[in-house]
Structure 1
Amino acid sequence: MQNLPGTVYGQTDPFAATHWSVIVAAGKTQADPESARAALAQLCQTYWPPLYTYVRGRGYSVHDAQDLTQGFFAYLIEHKIHLRADRQMGKFRSFLLASLKHFLSHAREREQTLKRGGGREFIPFDEARAEEAESLFQTHSSSGSSALPEERLFERTWAETLVETALGRLAAAYKAEGKENLFESFQTFVAVGADPLPTYSELATRLAVAESTIRSHVTRLRGRYREMLRAEVRRTVDTESEVDEELRELLRVLIGN
């Protein structure tokens, strides 16, 4: 059975209120702007790293990039940019990148006043998240990705953040079900760029269970991961029809770099 938009496993999606479509709808009708603002805040908090790595890719220092990324969010809400979004903007990824480019075109004028939001923070500054984003930037710099246009760096980090978010929610679901150990035993089968996978026979011996049980657990885990990934992508596009297109783009970016 095909899941309806805003659902996961045929049930209500707990993150439906943070869908990009909620923001687009608010912009078209001018209705419920606070819900749109809250949805944008949640999405921006999740996808802070790609924006930061883009700014770093433009040549800004760590602290300047942090200030400008935080300042960008304050700019979005202060000027109600999110309420001007329409179908021409399409995906949340496209909207953010286009808005960030415009914001940075006047960066010199803003640098003196934007200090992690300039006292008007849209989302709180997360030191740990910022360190993770810098680590991603350094990883891609050492692998040569910094030589690519900053748009490619943004796309790569966006894809990795999306996958990380989906995996995090899958891990949380297994933990809530009391199956945390099960997830930890088999998560390598869904991790991007993981080391060579163990065989089912090797795992069966290590865990002292039947090989058929291993196969069943892995099949179920992969199925749930695909659903989580699809649900996360659904949060960042306006319509259900865009999900498959965005998933193909995600795969292209992860494999092509």
Structure 2
Amino acid sequence: MPAATSQQTGEGGGFFPNTRWSMVIATRDSTSDERGEALEELCRLYWKPVYLFVRQRGNSPEETEDLTQAFFYRVIEGDLLSSIQGPERGRLRSFLCVVLKRFLADDYHRRMALKRGGGQVFVDIDGPSVEGQIEDVRREVADPERAFDRQWALDLLDEARRRLKNDYQRADKEGLFEQFEPAISPQLGRISHAALAERLGISEGAVKVAVHRFRQRYRQCLLSALKDTLAEGEDPEEELRYLLSLFSRG
């Protein structure tokens, strides 16, 4: 199989594989520094859904940290990925969830608990930051797999916001991003076109056009982030509809 291709990201001058799937493949196949960078990025992106899935299975916070560390340790060692042939495997979200369930079915809990505090830590897990969400997740999403997908969706939304912010930073327009961010962040409240027009010194009509373009660019970033987790030929719009449906009260 050809080696995963890479591209320079501009964040810290490092090199990362150009899709999430090739990032996974790189953790198995590469023997260079790229493997470590790919793995670090993979863990940064996906530890939260893994943590929540494990926690939803009735494990304590300490047990959950052990198992999450153990899961990524196994990913690092490569044996969990030995059967991967490539992105044709399907959705990365579904694949990782299946691999995680298989991992939890194995008897690694006892052995990895013995390593707690004495082994090398590969994943920067901030358990307390997620623990505050646990009760809310349990009330809204009883099924661990659905909770996994829901957290996956939240992290993808945040990844798209980060990409959009990076675009504005590169254009030296970070201040403008901060002004428009409420348009894509429901938790920040509804954006006031009139107030924004007054702050920016432009017409309200111009603000509406600018906000519309901002939202369009955010959607592009979101679909791009989604496409990176899908097999070639899969529809990111379909995946987006499913992920957004996880927040429906109906």
Report the TM-score range of the alignment, normalised by the length of the smaller protein. 0.7 to 0.9
Determine whether 1:225 maps to 2:218: yes
Listed as ranges, the matches of 1:236-247 within 5 Å are 236-247=229-240
TM superposition score normalised by structure 1: 0.77
Partner SS state of residue 59, structure 1? coil
1:139 and 1:18 map into 2 onto residues whose CA distance is: 34
Q: 2: CA distance between counterparts of 1:220 and 1:55?
A: 39
Structure 1 unaligned runs (5+)? 1-5, 7-11
Unaligned runs of 5+ in 2: 10-14
For the 8 Å contact 2:92–2:230, the answer to whether it is kept is yes
| Counterpart code for 1:239 | E
Structure 2 counterpart of 1:20, which letter?
R
Quick check: 1:234–1:240 contact (8 Å CA) kept in 2? no
2 CA distance for matches of 1:76 and 1:25? 11
TM-score (norm 2): 0.79
* 1:115 to partner: Cα distance: 2.3
Q: Secondary structure at the match of 1:112?
A: helix
Q: How big is the shift at 1:206?
A: 4.9
* CA 1:202–1:21: 2 relative to 1, 3 Å: same
Q: Distance in 2 between matches of 1:102 and 1:25?
A: 19
Question: Deviation per CA, 1:14-68, whole angstroms, max 9, x where unpaired?
Answer: 48715233257679xx864655664344222211111101111111111211111
2:12 is matched with none
* Cα deviation 1:160-204 (Å, max 9, x = unaligned): 111011112212221232212211111111124553x23423432
1:82-231 alignment, distance < 5 Å: 82-86=81-85, 89-105=89-105, 106-115=107-116, 119-121=119-121, 123-127=122-126, 130-141=127-138, 144-145=139-140, 148-192=142-186, 194-195=188-189, 197-231=190-224
Residue 239 (structure 1) shift: 1.5
RMSD of aligned C-alpha atoms? 3.0
One-letter amino acid of the counterpart of residue 153, structure 1: A
CA contact (8 A) 1:52 1:69 kept: yes
Equivalent in the alignment of 2:17: 17
Structure with more relative contact order (C-alpha pairs < 8 Å, separation 6 or more): 1
1:161 maps to amino acid: D
Aligned residue pairs total 237
From the superposition, tell whether residues 59 and 42 of structure 1 become closer, same or farther in structure 2 (CA, over 3 Å).
same
Q: Matched residues in 1 for 2:237 and 2:36: separation?
A: 26
- Give the aligned residue type for 1:93: R
